[in-house]
Amino acid sequence: MLTHEIGSNAGDVYTLLSQKGRLSIRKIGELTYKQESVIFLSLGWLLRENKIKITEQNGELVSEISYTTSDMYY
């Protein structure tokens, strides 16, 4: 998989999270039909850019947009 493909998939996941809010990894897969490896690469990309945060909720990993103070005012 090429870097631009990972970036494109990360954009898809980010858009989904911005529309739906907090989602589990499983739910992201159900909504995007992307393979688990693609989802994890996308989440890693977004984590590296500090765009999302991942937490554990009831034994499941969930991800959500990580808003910074400056993002909230634009």
- Checking DSSP bridges between strand 60-65 and strand 23-24, what pairing results, if any? antiparallel
pLDDT tens-place string over residues 1-47: 688 899 999 999 999 999 999 999 999 999 999 999 999 999 999 99
- What pLDDT band is residue 70 in, cutting at 50, 70 and 90? low
> For 23, what's the count of Cα atoms within 13 Å in the CB-facing half-sphere?
21
- Mean pLDDT for the stretch of residues 48-69: 92
> How many domains is the chain partitioned into structurally?
1
pTM, rounded to two decimals:
0.85
- Residue 60, domain extent: 3-72
71 three-class SS: helix
Report the distance separating Cα 67 and Cα 54, nearest Å. 13
